[in-house]
């Protein structure tokens, strides 16, 4: 048996590592993992030095949670015996809520945050048409009662990624995870 196979430390496989990363959450949305949010873009073993390379992308460029998420990734993988973690930050393609997993959307809803309604878009013509029609950008279903009879209260909410809405049927206000 070749020596390097006998003595090389066991490297956990990539799927296993991805699974471990599901324990890492965004500190501002503690119920959704960074994998389900689409922040983790790639996980790989580097060929040369046995470090685990985790490629992540920021949600919003000013999101203050980014630094916390990075240190949580290191801590989590260290707990599983991966001492050398290399974090790469990738801007392109830009993060979009279209990458939220079905599991992530369901977790948001169960937590009381309405998941993004529809696909992301930011075209000039879209904005103009919306202003002309006076229609609000989206009417997400209420995460509490499911009614689609909802109105925006504020275009910005407690974090960069959320807006504030109110349900006209159960009258509860709720956070809406903006389409981005």
Which spans of this chain sit near other proteins (rule: CB under 8 A)? 58, 60-64, 91-96, 120, 122-124, 127-128, 130-132, 137, 153-157, 160, 164, 178, 180
For other proteins, the closer of residues 12 and 58 by Cβ is 58
For other proteins, the closer of residues 7 and 124 by Cβ is 124
CB of 56 to other proteins, least distance (A): 14
CB of 163 to other proteins, least distance (A): 9
For other proteins, the closer of residues 20 and 95 by Cβ is 95
DSSP per residue over 38-102, as a string? Answer: T-EEEEEE-TTT--EEEEE--SSTT-THHHHHHHHHHHHHHHTT---EEEEE--SSPP-GGG--H
DSSP per residue over 117-174, as a string? Answer: PS-----HHHHHHHHHHT--S--PPPTTT--S-EEEEESS-SSTTEEEEEETTT--EE
CB of 89 to other proteins, least distance (A): 10
CB of 9 to other proteins, least distance (A): 36
Q: Which residues on neighbouring strands pair with residue 114, listed in sequence order?
A: 176
- Extract the tokens encoding 158: 């407690």
For other proteins, the closer of residues 45 and 60 by Cβ is 60
Residues in Cβ contact with 101 at an 8 Å cutoff, skipping those fewer than 6 apart: 35, 36, 38
CB of 87 to other proteins, least distance (A): 16
For other proteins, the closer of residues 83 and 153 by Cβ is 153
């Amino acid at each position: 048996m070749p020596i390097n196979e006998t003595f090389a430390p066991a490297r956990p496989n990539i799927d296993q590592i991805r699974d471990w990363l599901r324990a890492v959450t965004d500190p501002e949305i503690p119920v959704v993992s960074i994998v389900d949010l689409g922040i983790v873009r790639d996980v790989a073993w580097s060929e040369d030095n046995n470090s685990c390379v985790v490629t992540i992308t920021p949600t919003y460029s000013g999101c203050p949670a980014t630094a916390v998420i990075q240190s949580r990734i290191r801590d989590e993988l260290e707990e599983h015996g991966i001492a050398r973690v290399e974090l790469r930050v990738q801007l392109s393609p830009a993060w979009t809520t279209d990458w939220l997993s079905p599991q992530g959307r369901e977790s948001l809803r169960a937590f009381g945050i309405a998941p993004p309604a529809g696909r992301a878009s930011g075209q000039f013509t879209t904005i103009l048409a919306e202003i002309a029609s006076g229609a609000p950008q989206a009417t997400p279903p209420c995460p509490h009662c499911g009614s689609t009879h909802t109105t925006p209260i504020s275009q910005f909410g407690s974090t960069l990624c959320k807006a504030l809405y109110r349900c006209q049927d159960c009258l509860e206000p709720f956070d809406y995870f903006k389409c981005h």
